[in-house]
Amino acid sequence: MPDCLLCAETGGALLWNSPLLRVIDACDPVYPGTTRVVLNRHVAEMTDLGEADQQSVMRATLCVERVMRDTLGPDKVNLAALGNMVAHLHWHVIPRWKDDPHFPQAIWAALPEATPGAPQAQRARRNATIAGVPRFHRALTDALERTMSGAAAG
């Protein structure tokens, strides 16, 4: 679709691709490890998809969540399909920690006032997460290959 960012561009660093969907590292500087599952065609809502494709999208999204939990060990995983800015179906899979800058708000909320010492702790957390991301990505591409093989494509 003209003027759609996710039709025109990958939207991040490509980790895995299939005819139906791609999985990308969002390269979020504040929330490293944030991953997106992006449909490879322009539809806005999950209910625009047939049931088999809906299941494949959820299988991939939950695979990202599973591997993220196993490798990065966040306190919580946020799954979100908003699409208000770019109405091209994509799921955000975001690792969250109780001491991250926005917790317990969504990462898109206004930044709350930082408590003393918080920025330093947040920097340490971010660096530890960055160190774990390569292992997360290796495990994720392996898991997607296993999980999505034989799944309906397109």
Closest separation in Å from C-beta 83 to Zn ion: 10
3-state class of 40 per DSSP? coil
Distance CA 104, CA 131 (A): 24
Closest separation in Å from C-beta 41 to Zn ion: 8
Closest separation in Å from C-beta 89 to Zn ion: 8
Q: Which is nearer to Zn ion, 87 or 121 (CB)?
A: 87
Distance CA 27, CA 36 (A): 10
Q: Which is nearer to Zn ion, 83 or 132 (CB)?
A: 83
Q: Which is nearer to Zn ion, 88 or 137 (CB)?
A: 88
Residue type for position 16:
W
Contacts of 153 (CB under 8 A, 6+ apart): 18, 19, 20, 56
| Residue 61 C-alpha from the chain's centroid | 8
Closest separation in Å from C-beta 33 to Zn ion: 25
Q: Which is nearer to Zn ion, 1 or 130 (CB)?
A: 1
CA distances from 127 to 79, 115, 123 (A): 22, 19, 6
Q: Return residues touching Zn ion (CB under 5 A).
A: 1, 4, 6-7, 42, 88
Closest separation in Å from C-beta 6 to Zn ion: 5
Burial of 68 (C-beta count, 10 Å sphere; 0-12/13-18/19+): buried
Q: Which is nearer to Zn ion, 1 or 30 (CB)?
A: 1
